[in-house]
Structure 1
């Protein structure tokens, strides 16, 4: 990846810390059962992308509280 040029776009739910919409959190049950996983909060996405992947989050776009978000990342 070329810094400042190449981008990675991630489509996923970014769950707010409080008052999360039931439609977004309801997916947790679908994911937890077979995969031992859960939907991620903004803090968890940041930790995953910036700490573990070594990337920088440029911007997060969201269409609403119950819809997926688009996370734009680039090389740190």
Structure 2
């Protein structure tokens, strides 16, 4: 488990359905530098949290947007 919170990236998304969540899972699951992720579909912002070793917020955002999802980094 990663105790360094500086490596947790948080995004507001439009990942609202189980189908969308599975699409995102396929996009992210084997991405080098990405340790773990989850989507909180109960949250109104459908928050995506990414634990990253080397992948950047910009890379995650670009990857999701290219797949047709809205994605904005949260502070």
Question: What is the TM-score when the length of structure 2 is the normalising length?
Answer: 0.46
- Indicate the structure (1 or 2) with the bigger Cα radius of gyration: 1
